[in-house]
């Protein structure tokens, strides 16, 4: 399993580079390891910067399978936005509300180097936007309101 990097590690604040060779062995080996790490930490998404790799790769747990989303670009965002609760494996024990588009359309490459278009509504849209923020060096705490620490809630 991979080690998850936590705030304030400077790697989390760097803009990630595009994956140049999706079919390279190191990328093909990294994707299932990221998926395993995400699932074992009860995450719904994981971005490569969270495991110390500044490349544009995310994994998302969706409908009992893991999507590998490589070099994603949001091509359309819904006008409608909504506040929703978020947390992050790289910002342990913190939760807050973040305003995000209710639906998005992304273009990306899958692990077989196929170009894809995905229309993502609801929670899937929120997760993908959160993970793409990681690729741009942005953490949810930068956008959150009502930020709270779960360790102090019961005190």
Which residue numbers are catalytic?
Answer: 131
Of 34, 64, 28, nearest to 47 (Cα)? 34
> Which residue(s) pair with 76 in the sheet?
105
Distances in whole angstroms, Cα of residue 141 to Cα of each of 28, 73, 95, 108, 137:
31, 22, 8, 26, 12
Token digits of residue 126: 């929120």
Q: Count CB atoms within 10 A of the CB of residue 52.
A: 13
What does DSSP say about strands 57-62 and 65-77: parallel, antiparallel, or unpaired?
A: antiparallel
């Amino acid at each position: 399993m991979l080690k998850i990097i936590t705030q304030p590690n400077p790697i989390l604040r760097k803009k990630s580079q595009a994956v140049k060779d999706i079919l390279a062995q190191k990328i093909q080996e990294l994707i299932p390891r990221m998926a395993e790490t995400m699932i074992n930490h009860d995450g719904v998404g994981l971005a490569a910067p969270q495991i110390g790799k500044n490349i544009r790769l995310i994994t998302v747990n969706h409908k009992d399978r893991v999507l590998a989303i490589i070099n994603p670009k949001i091509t359309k965002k819904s006008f409608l936005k909504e506040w929703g609760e978020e947390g992050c494996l790289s910002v342990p024990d913190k939760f807050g509300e973040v305003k995000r588009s209710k639906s998005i359309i992304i273009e990306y490459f899958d692990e077989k180097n196929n170009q894809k278009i995905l229309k993502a509504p609801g929670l899937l849209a929120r997760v993908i936007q959160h993970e793409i923020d990681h690729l741009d060096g942005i953490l949810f705490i930068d956008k959150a309101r009502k930020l709270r620490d779960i360790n102090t809630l019961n005190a």
